[in-house]
Amino acid sequence: MLFVPVFEGTDPLEDLPGLDTATGGDISRARESSEFRGRLYELFIARVTGGPYRALRLALVGAGRREDADAERLRRVAAACSYTARIRSARSAAFVVRAGLDPIRVAEIGADGMSTAEFDAGTYKSDRDTRGFPERIVIVSPAADPTALAEAVFRGRTLGASANVTRELANEPSNVLTPRVFAERVAAVATEVGLKVEVLDEQQIRALKMGMLLGVAQGSAEPPRLVVIRHDPPGAPASPVLGFIGKGITFDTGGVSIKPAEGMERMKYDMSGGAAVAGAMRALALLKAPRRVIGVIPMAENMVGGKAVRPGDVLTAASGTTVEIINTDAEGRLILGDAIWYAQELGATHLVDIATLTGACMVALGRTSSGLFGTPDAWVETVQNAGTLAGDRLWHLPLHEEYRELLKSEIADMLNSAGRWAGASTAAMFLREFVKDRPWAHLDIAGTAWAEERRAYQAKGATGVAVRTLVELGLRTHI
């Protein structure tokens, strides 16, 4: 099946001579009658009956307006192709990089997007959809240099497959993916691609005095873990050392400040930030990224119970900061605070943390973009640009100094929750307290890590958001 993205409006398909004749004039008929107009994800399938094209089927895919064709859009178009290929049981699927687009960049995006349907969330269904993913994915980019094209396709496949590793982890139910199992699975993913991994158990976490991570974990029968993944390419410069820190709450009941029953089942994806770090580290290793990167993933289950932390309790962070717990449901910032501190102890010079941190960020931005916070502005801008190139939409939200006052405690150095207003920003402000004078950015992916609705380009469930932004930062961003 040959997939051809077609732009809305005038798109004469001049770079694909003979295509219309190959389908016996079906294409021109469909376009003249407005059966196919190139509207986003619109589909028109024709039989190939002659001409120079070897495919049995031709699929025109609406790509929307040419001027809107950024990385995110093009990847989604390719992803829609991959779902069509799968539904139609295509054994081989080819994606055409249209003339006028950057042939290398779009080949990478095409290979990445075409990998989307390879992920299957149906593993727990007895009557699962057995229609397989195509055996072969082909990227057609006539204008590209063959060597550069092969490399771009490898990058794209690696990105797509790594994002699928993240999606697979985030989709797992919490009885399967406990902190211990999460740690084992991440360690296996990392070891397989030659990364160095360390899994710290509860004793080692205690030895590091991570009172916030331990405080969150103490209500659960499942012990916490802290996973450290290192990408240390030979000959890499001593600095920068990127530090990626991902929230790994395998289930969030809210703790004693318990969440309402409705929708609580979703809180299995509260480890999506941690899963994104794991997926990104995998890709960076396979792509032999030139700089040093450290991934730190604190893992715990936030439960209710006789041993659980209470509102009013005071916890002492590994950094020495004392924190009065106001709301046990503000647990992500606690485990991240200790992990951010540790990433710096390990030598990280530039930090990015990724977390399904606040409902407030979802209230502000919905499901269309992740919240972006940080200091200094230059680093925030660097991360923002990496997001745009990678096709992850990030929206910069403020960290006004006044927010810090809302975190003042009567008894300790800080509160863990400042209540309702500017909830995404005050959560970020809490994290900032653990950053020691170096560039730091925080991505709140609460609204973007999970798709509640099936779309042409996206299955319901975990999205793999932020993986590509992290890879962009480790691979080719100028720092």
Provide the binding-site residues for ligand BES, judged by CB under 6 A: 252, 270, 327, 329-332, 356-360, 362, 417, 423, 446
Burial label, 91 (beta-carbon count in 10 A; 0-12, 13-18, 19+) = exposed
**Amino acid letter, residue 180:** R
Minimal distance in Å, beta carbon 355 to ligand BES?
A: 8
Minimal distance in Å, beta carbon 329 to Zn ion?
A: 7
Alpha-carbon gap, residue 152 to 267, rounded angstroms: 36
Alpha-carbon gap, residue 99 to 394, rounded angstroms: 29
Pick out residues in 324-353 that bind Mn ion (CB under 5 A): 329, 331
Q: According to CB under 5 A, which one of 270, 324, 433, 444 is a site residue for Zn ion?
A: 270
Q: Single out the segment in contact with Mn ion by CB under 5 A; choices: 126-134, 162-170, 321-329, 434-442.
A: 321-329
Q: Print burial letters for 383-409: b (CB count within 10 Å at least 16), e (below 16).
A: bbbbbbbbbbbbebbebeeebbebbee
Q: Please, are residues 457 and 402 in contact by the beta-carbon 8 Å criterion?
A: no
Name the H helices within 297-351: 332-345
Q: Please, are residues 323 and 413 in contact by the beta-carbon 8 Å criterion?
A: yes
Q: Which is nearer to ligand BES, 318 or 418 (CB)?
A: 418
Q: Which is nearer to ligand BES, 346 or 451 (CB)?
A: 451
Phi (first) and psi of residue 427, to 5 degrees = -65, -45
Q: According to CB under 5 A, which one of 5, 240, 279, 332 is a site residue for Zn ion?
A: 332
Alpha-carbon gap, residue 404 to 262, rounded angstroms: 32
Q: Which is nearer to Mn ion, 202 or 329 (CB)?
A: 329
Decide if 288 is catalytic: no
Which value, to the nearest 10 degrees, does the dihedral of the CA atoms of residues 330, 331, 337, 343 take? Answer: -140
Residue 56's alpha-carbon distances to 1, 126, 133, 173, 379, in angstroms, are 6, 33, 17, 40, 49
Which residues, 6+ apart, have CB-to-CB distance to 183 below 8 Å? 199, 225, 227, 299
Decide if 259 is catalytic: yes
Q: Which is nearer to ligand BES, 82 or 417 (CB)?
A: 417
Q: Which is nearer to ligand BES, 139 or 446 (CB)?
A: 446
Minimal distance in Å, beta carbon 216 to Zn ion?
A: 9
Phi (first) and psi of residue 441, to 5 degrees = -130, 150
Pick out residues in 166-185 that bind Mn ion (CB under 5 A): none
Q: Which is nearer to ligand BES, 331 or 392 (CB)?
A: 331
Residue 252 contacts Mn ion per CB under 5 A: yes
Sheet holding 322-324, edge to edge: 314-316, 322-324, 414-415
Minimal distance in Å, beta carbon 464 to Mn ion?
A: 22
113 binds, among ligand BES, Mn ion, Zn ion, none (CB under 5 to 8 A by kind): none
| Tokens, residue 228 | 């450290």
Minimal distance in Å, beta carbon 332 to ligand BES?
A: 4
Minimal distance in Å, beta carbon 365 to Zn ion?
A: 17
Number of residues that make up the chain: 479
469 binds, among Mn ion, ligand BES, Zn ion, none (CB under 5 to 8 A by kind): none
Phi (first) and psi of residue 376, to 5 degrees = -75, 175
Residue 324 contacts Zn ion per CB under 5 A: no
Q: Which is nearer to ligand BES, 127 or 262 (CB)?
A: 262
Residue that has been written with the tokens 């307290």 in this structure: 433
CB-CB neighbours of 208 under 10 Å: 17
| Tokens, residue 187 | 């360690």
353 binds, among ligand BES, Zn ion, Mn ion, none (CB under 5 to 8 A by kind): none
CB-CB neighbours of 102 under 10 Å: 15
470 binds, among Zn ion, ligand BES, Mn ion, none (CB under 5 to 8 A by kind): none
Among 133, 56, 122, 61, which residue's Cα sits nearest to residue 456?
A: 61
Minimal CB distance residue for ligand BES? 359
Alpha-carbon gap, residue 34 to 238, rounded angstroms: 59
Minimal distance in Å, beta carbon 292 to Zn ion?
A: 29
Which residue of the set 105, 206, 209, 259 is catalytic?
Answer: 259
Residue 252 contacts Zn ion per CB under 5 A: yes
327 binds, among Zn ion, Mn ion, ligand BES, none (CB under 5 to 8 A by kind): ligand BES
Q: Which is nearer to Mn ion, 20 or 329 (CB)?
A: 329
213 binds, among Zn ion, ligand BES, Mn ion, none (CB under 5 to 8 A by kind): none
Which residue of the set 185, 230, 333, 393 is catalytic?
Answer: 333
423 binds, among Zn ion, Mn ion, ligand BES, none (CB under 5 to 8 A by kind): ligand BES
Minimal distance in Å, beta carbon 43 to Mn ion?
A: 40
Q: Which is nearer to ligand BES, 332 or 374 (CB)?
A: 332
Q: Single out the segment in contact with Zn ion by CB under 5 A; choices: 138-146, 211-219, 331-339, 449-457.
A: 331-339
Q: Please, are residues 299 and 225 in contact by the beta-carbon 8 Å criterion?
A: yes
- Binding residues for Mn ion (CB under 5 A): 252, 329, 331
Catalytic site residues?
A: 259, 333
- Binding residues for Zn ion (CB under 5 A): 249, 252, 270, 332
